Structure 1
Amino acid sequence: MSDWRVSGFTEVMELGRGGQGRVVLATHATAGTPVAIKYLSAAADREPLRHEARMLGTVESPHVARLYRLVETEQGVALIMEAVEGVTLKEVLARHGELAPEAALVVLKGSLLGLAAAHAVGVVHRDYKPANVMVPADGRSKLIDFGVAVAAGAASASGTPAYMAPEQWRGEAVSPATDVYAATCVFFECVTGRRPFAGADGHLSEEPPAEDVAAPLRPLVTAGLAKDAAGRPASASAFVEELERIATEEYGDGWEDRGLRVLAGAAVALAALFPLAAAGLGSGAAAGGVAGGAAAGGSAAGGSAASTTAGFLAKVGTAKAIAAAGGAAAVVAAGGGVAVWQAGDDGPPPRAFTPGEVTLASETIGDPAVNLAEGTVRFVRVSGHSDPAVQQRINAALHAPVDQAVSDYRRLLEAAGGLENQSVPGAARPIEMRSEIVYRGPRLLSVRYLVHIPVYVAGGSYITPRAVNIELATGRVLGPEQIFTAAALKDPNLAELSRRVPPPPADPAGGLECGYRTMTERTRLAPDDPLTGVSFSLTKDRLVTVFTPDEHCIAFRFYKPNSVPYASVENLIRPDVLKLATATTPP
Structure 2
Amino acid sequence: MSEPGFTELESLGDGNFGRVVLARQDRTGAVVAIKYLFDWFPLDDFRPEAARWQGLNSRFIVQLHEFIERAETAALVMEAVPGVSLERLIKENGALPPEAALTVFKDTLLGLADAHAAELVHRDVKASNVLVTDEGHVKLVDFGTAALAGETGTPAADIYAATCVFFECLTGHPPYEAEDPDALLHLHRYAPIPFGEVPEPLWTLLNWGMAKDPAYRPANAEQYADVLEKVATDTYGKKWERRGRELLTAAPAEPPPSGMLLKSGAAVLGLAVVAAGVVFVVTAEEDPPPAGPPQPLQQVLTVAVEPVSEREATFTIEGEVVRVTGYLDPVVGERVNQALRQPFDDHRENSRAVYADGKLAGKASTSKPRIVLETEELLSVRYDNDYGGERPYTQTTTIALKDGRPLGVREILAPEAFTATGLTQLSQRLDLDRICDDQPGFTREKPLGVSDFDDARPNTGSGVEIALAPDGVVFALHPEARPGRPACKPETVLLPYARMTDLLSPEVLKLLPDQRLVPPPPTTTTPPPKDEAFRFGPLNLRLPTRFSLQNQGLEKVVVDGTGCADPKRYFNCKYFLVTDNTQASEEQPKYEPGKPYVRSAAGRACNAAGRKDLKQEGAATLVESSTVKIGDQDATYEKWSVQCVEPGGAEAEAELTQRIWFVPSKNYVITDEWGVADLDAALAKAVWR
Give the structure-1-normalised TM-score. Answer: 0.43
Of structures 1 and 2, the larger Rg is shown by 2
Give the number of the structure whose residues are more often helix, by fraction: 1
Greater strand share, structure number: 2
Structure ranking higher on relative contact order (CA contacts 8 Å, 6+ apart):
1
